[in-house]
Amino acid sequence: MDLKAVIFDLNGTVIVDEELYDEAFSEVLRGLGVTATLQKPVKEAGIGTTENWEKLLQKYGVPTRKSPEVLSRETDEIYKKRLGEVAIRRGFRELSGELKGVGVARILATSNSTEMANLVIHFFDLHGCFDEVVTGDHVKKKKPEPDIFLLAAKKAGAEPAECVVIEDALSGVKAACKAGMRVVGVQGEDYPKAVGKADLVISSFDELTIEKLRGLL
């Protein structure tokens, strides 16, 4: 089987921002009067900010009239102001360039919004690192459902079995498996839960080669 596309998650995978998002969620929770939370709120990585607020409101029984959508925007505003604290995961740009050189499609597939994805792409000058971008706005069901990855494969003109997904979150690993794709697990917020279903585990992109990616198929 030939490798035709590598599909990258964004948050926690291409960029190392798990801690910043945790702190943004915590700050908004404190504004709602939830003071007895852990430094790191119990949220589910990879499913989307609004979806996490739906879970957090229920978990903490927060008496607020603010909708999950409003709370999601507040969280994103805090995140935007501190985006300069975020780093690109080591080796990403080099791997992206190597994939381009051998004609393998590079697709970004994130549950985050198109607005937030575009913001990150612009901020870090990642325009040349991806051939296509798929976000949570483009599908009816986000991760852990396979919709985002199946759409990414379609945009790449590839069959699922010709794609490798790179993910840090358990929801994303599950989605890739449901899509019938091989998965590289990145040691991020959901580690070690996510790696249980991953075919290969890395901590940085400089551990990956095109030969290793092809060898997963």
Give per-residue pLDDT as tens, 71-83.
999 999 999 999 9
Reported pTM:
0.89
At 166-206, the pLDDT tens digits run 999 888 999 999 999 999 999 865 556 556 679 999 989 99
Is residue 186 helix, strand or coil? Answer: strand
User: Is there a single domain that holds both residue 64 and residue 104?
Assistant: no
CATH code, domain carrying 128: 3.40.50.1000
Question: Which portions of the chain are predicted below pLDDT 70?
Answer: 36-44, 188-196
User: Is there a single domain that holds both residue 80 and residue 166?
Assistant: no
* Burial of 100: CB neighbours in 10 Å, binned 0-12, 13-18, 19+: middle
Q: For residue 100, what are the domain limits?
A: 5-17+87-215
Sheet with 200-202: list strands edge to edge: 132-134, 105-109, 5-8, 163-167, 182-186, 200-202
User: Is there a single domain that holds both residue 50 and residue 78?
Assistant: yes
The residues annotated as belonging to the active site are 9
Q: What are phi and psi of 75, to 5 degrees?
A: -65, -45
DSSP codes of every residue in 99-158: HHHTT-EEEEE-SS-HHHHHHHHHHTT-GGG-SEEE-GGG-SS-TTSSHHHHHHHHHHT-
Q: How many domains does the chain have?
A: 2
Dist CA 46 CA 144 (whole Å): 8
